[in-house]
A and B are shown apart, each in its own frame.
Chain A
Amino acid sequence: MADGALTVDGSIGAWARRRLSGAGWTALALLVAAVVSVPVLVVAGHVFVPATEIWGHLVETVLPRYVRNTVYLAGGVGTGVLLIGVGTAWLVTMCRFPGQRFFEWGLLIPFAVPAYVVAYTYTGVLDFAGPVQSGLRAVFGWQSRADYWFPEIRSLGGAIAMMSLVLYPYVYLLARAAFIEQSVCTLEVSRTLGRGPWRSFFSVALPLARPSILAGLALALMETLNDFGTVQFFAVDTFTTGIFRTWLGLGEPAAAAQLAAILMIFVLVLIALERSARGGAGFQHATQVYRPLPRYALSRGRAMIAFLACFLPILLGFALPALVLAQWAVETREWIDRSFFRLAWNSFLLATTTGVLAVALAVLLAYGQRLRPSRIGSAAARVASMGYAVPGAVIAVGVLLPFAWLDNQLDAWMRAHWGVSTGLLLSGTIAALVFAYLVRFFAISFNTVEVGLARVTPSMDGAARTLGLGPAKTLRRVHLPMIRASLLTAGMLVFVDVMKELPATLIIRPFNFDTLATRVYEFAVDEQLQEASSAALAIVLVGIFPVIVLSRAIAGARPGTQATGRRASDGG
């Protein structure tokens, strides 16, 4: 695999030399893309590695269960996020009812909560010793578990519910954007042709929005496959838990990589789904006429139902868990002690480093592509952006295998030539961890920076260049000041995602190095749910920031409103 990467670099060098000027940018961009895509390629390459003995064992014993659970989980979460996401998006976009303006952005709030945090919280509330079952027992005089039936939260169904509650915003966000962008005319035509609001929804609005909804679904399912904390805690064996156990428990990196490779097949299906859905999204705009949406005023009873339909996801996905966490944090007293600050500092350090690097690399890649648009460049950017779809556990495997190989090579070479052993220089360091984060979250910063750069018209480049500035100075004096807001947004989004990241952190982190996320996980594994509350709460609070940015972005994105004013004031 590493050989493959080297030849890619070699051809880049030859290719770069042939260009006359400004080629350095393109070469750098390709180098970044090549390095960032190594982990994914390493794992993908393991599809072809001959099977080991342990692999045969895995196939016989656990693999069918992993596949079954993963498929059920994806199916369940998919259904859940579609119902919640599309339903609420339609209600807040097309109907008028109390609180509708708040729900427009409020429905995004559960984005702030990682699935594993909701899972731990609800387990604390709903399991046998929790307040709900204790309360029921006290009221009805039941003595033991045998006396009554209560749904078991730590189950496949529970995992589906937990993930649906925090992942539906992906579908909501894209479905709502699609509904808003649809011309009202198409709906009105449907109405004048004799179809009622409901039938118009199913026969016109929904098919038109389908590409966006599918893209949102694909994103939600990618997160589902990525999840480790929830399924591990609920003892639902999926690929991520399998990779984890095979790597850390059995000490079989090759077999873990092969599990990861199979998981990648699921991921590729999702990427294909998302790409084809987004490809079709270009045909959505049937007409260019936009008017304020004529919202249906709902009767009192229906308005009540609409209110509840929008309120419940926020209550269950955010408000309730956050309140429970806050209460636990107060109860446990030691909620902000010295160890909390050490964890927070570790998380902050990792998130800041990754955020800054991710933005810098994104600028490099996007600006290189802008200077010299090339098919190779855009392909490189796409490959480098694959990581967002790849589960953290898979990336961790893909990072550690080549790093260990490099360490061994270096160590062998140093011993042969200098008689010194360097040991493990890269593996199990913060550098390896930051690299894994970069691979996973690069797409987020790249897309944000690219969108920002696209808003700077090409004549700005031309103006700066003809006024005597080289490409690097043009970037510094024209583009960067103009896209400052995008850079901040990109950095912040990556920051928050790094704070929440669990599986890759658990696998790669240096010995005895803890972050807020790993501490939450460790407490939860030890069934000390309350002790985890302050760290979990911190993660949730930090997670609110991107929600605010997203909600502001969707408020401004409506065609026909304020668009021109915004463009003038943001400065392009």
Chain B
Amino acid sequence: MAAEAGAGEPAAVLERVRHAFPPVAALDDVSLSIAGGEILCLVGPSGCGKTTLLRLLAGLEHIQAGRIILGGRPVADRAAGIDVPPDERGVGLVFQDYALFPHLTVLQNVAFGLEALDAKARRERALAALDQVGMAEKAEVYPHMLSGGQQQRVALARALAPQPRLLLLDEPFAGLDARLRDQVRDDTYHILKNSHTTCVVVTHDSEEAMFMADRIAVMNAGRLEQVGAPVEIYGKPISAFVARFFSDVNRLAGVVETGSVRTPFGRIPAGRAADGQAVEILIRPEALKIAPLGTRMASWGVPAPSGGTRARVIATRMLGRSSLIHLDVANGAGTEMHMHSRMPGQVLPPEGELVSVDLDFGQTFVFPVSDPK
């Protein structure tokens, strides 16, 4: 956010961009500004239009409506008849499948975009880019001899070598297996930050977005649902869709009465929903804090009693850094509701135990049911 306020002119701006692959509308009136030097993550379910947005920025799709400005210069403007081809935009793109040229060596791949330089300078710059990603020793090797992680780094070096004013990454880690992915992601993050390049990263993985992003733009069905810093997106989701996209949630239904809505955990403020409106209440699992009944320290390691709601433990699972507790919560109307609580560390109450549940209002969200999603 600081970057956006301080950087003066944004690196890239999309104004009212629409795009359709008839009969499907891929982008519906999208406006977005990307600040210089920031890493913006575009997230959303598959088919939400995020890759189309990326291809429009690169110039690989022709603009259908709206305007795209890079570094203060319009590169695509339907109304003005401007559509700068990709080779003149100075935008780098890392493809999901890396798209390394199989008939060229690693060094030739990286030098591919450096045609403007003479042979010596081209080689030096390409080697420097390879060095930056730690692949200088593989310069003379052909791409098919590299592992997936190495190919990804070469693709990154190739895109960075011409020093693009905007670097686009399309699901850059999707081709890697889970164990390798965390390491490559961390390396990539530091390479990108050190290069001070403005980046747009497309991903469908919310955790990856929070790991990489200075800001996150959440897309849904061709529209930008919410744009903001990860903390903001996670803590103040603007819609049920955004809240659900970033974690599992417990869902309750209710009706607003005098500005609040009743839950098994007491009344909670209804926000912008009007009285009489049907709402859904989304509760993150970590908002449900369980504690033993009574005053003593429970054998499963959680102190402090409280006047919370009663619930019965159905099952407990240790997930590593946290524990997942399946609960039956009495809802006051004589029936019970199944909910999940996520507690940090090892909190493993025995099955059948009655526990007390407290709700953290900060991670509980109320949205009118009329919300399309």
Contact = CB atoms under 8 A, between A and B. Distances in A.
Interface of A: 20-22, 457, 459-460, 462-470, 477-478, 481-482, 568-569, 571-572
Nearest to A467: B113
A466 B102 contact: no
Contacts of B366: none
5 contacts: A460-B99, A466-B86, A468-B87, A469-B112, A478-B101
B162 A468 contact: yes
Given A457-B99, A459-B99, A466 B87 contact: yes
A482 B112 contact: no
Contacts of B53: none
Top 5 A-B residue pairs of the complex, sorted by shortest distance between their CB atoms: A467-B113, A571-B102, A459-B99, A465-B86, A459-B95
Contact of A465 (B87, B96, B158): B87
Given A457-B97, A568-B144, A465 B102 contact: no
A22 B85 CA distance: 9
Nearest to A474: B87
Nearest to A484: B103
Interface in B78-113: 81, 83, 85-89, 91-93, 95-97, 99-103, 112-113
B58 interface: yes
B115 interface: yes
Given A462-B58, A462-B93, A470 B87 contact: yes
A571 B95 contact: no
Interface size class of B (residues with CB under 8 A): 20 to 34
Nearest to A22: B85
A569 B113 CA distance: 24
Contacts of A568: 144
Nearest to A21: B85
B62 interface: yes
B115 A466 contact: no
Contacts, number: 77
SS class of chain A's interface: helix, strand, loop or mixed? helix
Contacts of B81: 20
A466 B92 contact: yes
A467 B58 contact: no
A482 B92 contact: no
Contact of B95 (A20, A463, A477, A569): A463
B59 interface: yes
B60 interface: yes
A411 to B, nearest CB: 46
B103 A482 contact: yes
B162 A467 contact: yes
B363 to A, nearest CB: 40
Contacts of A464: 101, 112
Contacts of A20: 62, 81, 83
Contact of B93 (A466, A469, A569, A571): A466
A470 B102 contact: no
A470 B89 CA distance: 11
B241 to A, nearest CB: 29
Contacts of A21: 83, 85
A463 B85 contact: no
Contacts of B144: 568-569, 571
Nearest to B84: A21
A572 B143 CA distance: 12
Nearest to B83: A20
A485 B272 CA distance: 65
A525 B58 CA distance: 65
B162 A465 contact: no
A464 B86 CA distance: 9
B62 A466 contact: no
A401 to B, nearest CB: 42
B158 A467 contact: yes
Nearest to B115: A468
Contact of B89 (A457, A460, A466, A572): A466
Contacts of B99: 457, 459-460, 462-463
A465 B59 contact: yes
Contacts of A569: 144
B115 A469 contact: yes
A482 B109 CA distance: 14
Given A20-B81, A463-B158, A467-B158, 20 more contacts: A20-B62, A22-B85, A459-B95, A460-B101, A462-B58, A462-B86, A463-B93, A463-B100, A465-B59, A465-B87, A466-B87, A466-B92, A466-B113, A466-B164, A467-B112, A467-B113, A467-B162, A468-B87, A468-B113, A477-B112
A384 to B, nearest CB: 26
Nearest to B143: A571
A482 B101 contact: yes
A454 B93 CA distance: 21
Max chain B C-beta neighbours (<10 A), residue from A464, A467, A469: A467
Nearest to B95: A459
Contact of A571 (B83, B87, B91, B103): B103
B311 to A, nearest CB: 46
Nearest to B96: A459
A477 B102 CA distance: 12
A460 to B, nearest CB: 5
Given A462-B86, A470-B85, A572 B102 contact: yes
B289 to A, nearest CB: 47
Nearest to A481: B103
B163 to A, nearest CB: 12
Contacts of A459: 95-97, 99
A377 to B, nearest CB: 16
A20 B115 CA distance: 25
Contacts of A481: 103
Given A20-B83, A459-B96, A568-B144, A466 B101 contact: no
Nearest to B92: A466
Interface string B139-162: 000001000000000000011001
A469 B81 CA distance: 22
Contact of A469 (B87, B97, B103): B87
Contact of A462 (B60, B100, B102, B158): B60
A236 to B, nearest CB: 51
B113 A465 contact: no
Nearest to B164: A466
A263 B218 CA distance: 62
B286 to A, nearest CB: 39
Interface in B109-147: 112-113, 115-116, 144
A465 B101 contact: no
A465 B101 CA distance: 13
Nearest to A482: B103
Interface in B17-41: none
Nearest to A470: B87
A470 B115 CA distance: 12
Contacts of B83: 20-21
